[in-house]
Structure 1
């Protein structure tokens, strides 16, 4: 049996995206801070992504800060009619390049307005509230219901089309759905890290899109990288990489392509948003949409975590 992953996913009425999109976090400089190493190349990557059929770009105004959104507008505005731009709020950067929770209602309103201005839009397609419940960031002091309720109010006012959650637990997801519809959840999840499995299962049951961040283990699947510099829990073992390479080799594919194909085949509600500032890596990533793994391959890769 071969698993033919659907190429598109319907998030909500009138909102359908390609299951393999693009994440803009790597467009700014190192650490998602400051201008890109090469401004022209950053613009070229965005334009090439759309040329190759990407209809889902994931960004945030705290990437840079402001840099990713400014590049997206410069490269792509006026936007294609089918392009969905998702952004995240609930975090601000400081002068030490830290990532700080900022989920007070007034701050969220300011962040939404900043995203609107920077992206040149009257309404944001999809806005995630970055919660931090998956351990990547420390949650702030604002009650969750108050924060999500503030975004729900902005949705009612027409500034946001759809709402999502990032770094969320299953209990927070349930709580949010009592306040307003949730169309997508973005948690850490990749071929070597299944810490988001319970949230993924909840999304499958509810018909909510699941958007793994760090789909390529924070770049640890790229050959030649120093795995000793990997964030905690990110570095794959030589045995894991060998197993992935063995399956990828059967298709004449790279380990990156096999890992992305696994994400799409592992669950029908998954959207992949690999990010890169390299035109060559962009082409490699998007070619994964043509790789159809067998059910046996997916089952074997399921065991690698």
Structure 2
């Protein structure tokens, strides 16, 4: 492993740049069947065997008729191996019968959500907590100071090690950084949908991790002729090119693809070893 394969999250948590997102483990959050708990446990254990040491989760990642991501992470991996970093998100509100988050927790509800993550994961301190304001609409347009101040206070108490932001604008990032350090941003981004160019430049300049959600498109693999052609040249799959392209795009980029398939896990983690050429990258950026 070289320093190019890793990133120092917050300056003191070194993680491999190919991580794992736990959202898909409980099953579809859009009305589909629950995931198989046994398969989920195997995927988590295999991910760690393959060198994954950064797992992204949330207490609201659960299926109404099945397992919860946090519960599976604890069952599969606790006692946790040294160096494993678990990141979680707070902010969205999901009621007991909601198939997906339907609102936002007020500032007064964030402590309980942090404590819920601590309890479910069986940890005394959370490595990284993202505040995620808003839904799937374009980020921005609201102040996040009051809610971020709550998380900053919990960080000062020692319940959180580092703070991040998810689905935010450059203005919201600037607002939060006046309150406490931000070590990671998690916005929507893939190589076929390169949003946030200015915010990504800020992250690069200030050594803030950028860990996009939906790195493989989110609602289906993008049908992109450029990506297909590069995959064919390398004997790789389209998802592998999408992930390798992310890692090659910026040294602060962290990939957190999720899956409920053991085969896709192997495929995704292998993408970290796919060496794209300068021509490939020019095509993707162009």
User: What TM-score comes out, normalization by structure 2 length?
Assistant: 0.92
The corresponding residue for 1:255 is 238
State the Cα deviation string for residues 72-122 of structure 1 (Å, max 9, x = none): 000000001110000000012122324233342221000000000000000
* Distance in 2 separating the partners of 1:137 and 1:199: 12
Q: 170-179 or 36-45, which moves further after superposition?
A: 36-45
Q: Decide whether aligned partners of structure 1 residues 162 and 256 sit closer, same or farther in structure 2, where only a CA change above 3 A counts.
A: same
User: Offset of 1:134 from its aligned partner?
Assistant: 6.8
The answer for the alignment partner of 1:74 in structure 2 is 75
- Conservation of the 8 A alpha-carbon contact between 1:132 and 1:166: no
**Of the candidates 57, 66, 72, which is equivalent to residue 59 of structure 1?**
57
Matches within 5 A, 1:1-305: 6-31=4-29, 36-64=34-62, 67-94=68-95, 95-132=97-134, 135=137, 143-218=143-218, 220-221=220-221, 236-237=222-223, 240=224, 242-303=225-286
Change beyond 3 A, Cα 1:32–1:199: farther
CA contact (8 A) 1:203 1:210 kept: yes
Matched-pair contact (CA < 8 Å) for 1:185–1:211: yes
Q: Provide the C-alpha distance between the structure 1 equivalents of 2:219 and 2:106, rounded to a whole number of angstroms.
A: 32
- How big is the shift at 1:29? 2.1
TM norm structure 1: 0.87
If asked which structure has higher relative contact order (CA below 8 Å, sep 6+), I would say: 1
Please, which runs of 5 or more residues in structure 2 have no aligned partner? none
The alpha-carbon distance between structure 1 residues 137 and 61, as it changes in their structure 2 partners (threshold 3 A), is farther
Q: Given that residues 188 and 195 in structure 2 are in contact (C-alpha distance below 8 angstroms), is that contact kept between their aligned partners in structure 1?
A: yes
Q: Distance in 2 between matches of 1:51 and 1:8?
A: 17
Whole-Å separation in 2 of the counterparts to 1:247 and 1:27: 29
Moved over 3 A (4+): 32-36, 136-139
Matches of 2:28 and 2:136 in 1, distance apart? Answer: 23
Contact 2:140 2:168 in 1 (8 A): no
Number of residue-to-residue matches in the alignment: 281
Structure 1: which 5+ runs fail to align? 222-235
Question: Measured at CA, do residues 280 and 136 of structure 1 come closer, stay the same or move farther in structure 2, by a change above 3 Å?
Answer: farther
Q: 1:148 to 1:12 in 2, by over 3 A?
A: same
Local SS of the residue matching 2:218 = helix
RMSD of the TM alignment (CA)? 2.2
User: Shift of residue 37 of structure 1?
Assistant: 2.6
Q: How far 1:138 moved relative to its partner?
A: 9.4
After TM superposition, give the deviation of residue 246 of structure 1 in Å: 1.2
Q: How far apart are residue 218 of structure 1 and its match?
A: 1.2
